[in-house]
């Protein structure tokens, strides 16, 4: 069963690479960021070794986001992200696991789950 894990994060607190060279990007001490990075690498290695990781991808800085809407055939592009919240979608994992419980276990181990949220969604096939 495949699941999409949507990782929500505050790019300022986490120290997103686009913020690391600014004062606000240093909210977490370097040692804390390094520990979280090590935790993430350990999880990615385990998922790869178990054959459960389909893909994982961080997203670019929220300020690079665009929102596209088409109304009555007219496209409108605005700066994103969609919500005005400090927390933004930061990245995604797609995993292929044997049970919903395993997907929840993986989601709980993603570092951002300690601070904001990881959203877990089953992936449906288009022909279902």
* pLDDT tens digits along 9-32: 776 665 555 445 555 555 677 788
Separation between Cα atoms, residue 99 and residue 121, nearest integer Å: 13
Report pTM. 0.75
pLDDT at 104 over 80: yes
More confident of the two residues 84 and 115: 115
Q: Which residue has better confidence, 113 or 12?
A: 113
Helix (H, G, I), strand (E, B) or coil at 30: helix
What pLDDT score was predicted for residue 21?
52
Residues 6+ apart with CB under 8 A from 13: 27, 28, 115
Residue 41: which pLDDT band, with cuts at 50, 70 and 90? very high
Nearest to 8 by CA among 121, 120, 116: 116
């Amino acid at each position: 069963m495949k699941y999409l894990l949507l990782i929500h994060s505050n790019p300022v607190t986490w120290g997103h690479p686009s913020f690391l060279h600014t004062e606000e990007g240093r909210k977490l001490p370097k040692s804390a960021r390094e520990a979280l990075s090590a935790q993430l690498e350990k999880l990615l290695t385990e998922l790869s070794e178990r054959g459960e990781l389909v893909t994982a991808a961080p997203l670019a800085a929220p300020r690079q986001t665009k929102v596209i809407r088409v109304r009555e055939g007219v496209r409108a592009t605005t700066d994103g992200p969609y919500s005005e919240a400090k927390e933004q979608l930061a990245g995604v994992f797609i995993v292929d696991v044997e049970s919903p419980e395993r997907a929840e276990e993986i989601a709980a181990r993603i570092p951002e789950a300690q601070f904001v949220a990881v959203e877990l969604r089953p992936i449906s096939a288009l022909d279902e």
